[in-house]
Every structure is written in C-alpha cells, then in structure tokens.
Amino acid sequence: MNVFGAIVARDTRLALRQGGGSYWTLLFFVLTVTMFPLGVGPDLALLSRIGAGVLWVTALLAAMLSLDRMFQADFEDGSLELLSLAPLPLELTVLAKAAAHWLTTGLPVTVLAPLLALMLAVDPAAFPVLMLAMLIGTPILSLIGSIGAALTVGIRRGGVLLSLLVMPLYVPALIFGVLAVQAALDGLTPRPHLLLLGADFLVALAITPWLAAAALRLNLE
C-alpha cells in the first residue's frame, strides 16, 4: 500500500507541475459550460432543463482530454516497464494511476459543478444530488479511460482513437448521472439512478484494472 500511495502522489504531483495539463482540463470545463448560455440564449427554463446534461457531457469531454497522459510519459521514458517489474501488481499500478487522474480531473470538476450549475439556472436544491452523482460517476470516467489509455499508449497522437474507444463505455454513467439530477429537479427520488451509477462504478473498479494491465503488458512486449 505504501507503493500504491507513492504512485498516486507521484502522478498527482506530475500532473500539477508539468505542463499544467490538469489546469487546462479545468479551464476547458469552465469555458465550455460558460458558452452554453451564450449559445442557447437567456431562456432560464431551457437552461435549467438541459443544465444537468451539459455539465455531465462537458465533464466527460474534460476527462477524455487528459487521458492520454495517464501512461504515455512513463511509456516513453521507460518508467512503465520498471513499474511492470515492481513487486506491486500491474493491476494496482493501473488503479493508482486512475486514482491520480481522478484527483487532478474528476474531483476538481465535481467541486466546480455546483458553481457552474448556477450559471445554467439549475435549482440549488438539486446540488447535493449533483455532487453525489459526480463523486460516484467521475471515477468511472477515469477507470474506463485507463483501458483506452493503455490500448493507445504506444500510438503517437492516439487521442482520437482513445476517444472513440472509451466514449461508448461512458454512456451508462452519463445516463444515470443525468437522470439522478433530473429526478431531484422533478421532485422524485434519485435513489434508483444513484444505485445504478454505484453499480456501474463497482463493475468498473473490478474489471478495468485487469483489462488495462493486460493491454499494457501487450504494448510492453
């Protein structure tokens, strides 16, 4: 567990220090959400109706924007091969890198979501559900994204291919997350949608490290 924590801390520091990748991701999230009221117009009822979907789709795109850095730098400098030979199983290494990705992308997006929801005229009463759904759903984006990042780690400029690989797998999290917030806005219970979102997270947590590790071993051979 000490090695696991060291990898999480290392990748988090690198994401914050080198190139400002995480900052650009957050800036993309903020600017994209900000442009929707300008494009749709001042219709508050319309903005409130589409607000949850806008936030979730933009969070999904922001997560994909930073996926290529999850393994690429370590692959290029040889660190990934050393990590694969370390006592820590490669599956746990993948999980640590996905956790670092979420800490620098998913968690800040979750914190910013209620502030941007105000801009989209979303009822503040739905903010607790919005944040809870984001806290459950954004780790799914990082976990599933690790598979695409592992498959494309040896491909130069594989960002487009990576997006095509992971986007269909993001659909369940997107649907359940939006439906949970929409249920809260309509005065209904969001519990079923949150439970389905939680089940999606547990499935991703159980499966994605093994699939991503297998893809990394294939690229390292």
DSSP per-residue codes, 147-171? HHHHHTTTSTT-HHHHHHHHHHHHH
In this structure, the dihedral spanned by the alpha carbons of residues 112, 114, 115 and 116, taken in order and rounded to 10 degrees, is 90
Most confident of 50-54, 124-128, 159-163, 196-200: 196-200
Q: Which residue has the higher pLDDT, 220 or 170?
A: 170
Q: How many residues would you count in the chain?
A: 221
**pLDDT tens digits, 52-93:** 899 999 999 988 888 877 887 778 777 788 887 878 888 999
Q: Are 173 and 108 in contact (CB under 8 A)?
A: no
Q: Could you report the per-residue pLDDT of 31-58, keeping only the tens digit for each?
A: 989 888 888 777 788 888 888 899 999 9
| Residue type at position 49 | R
- 6 has pLDDT over 90: no
Q: Is the pLDDT of residue 197 over 60?
A: yes
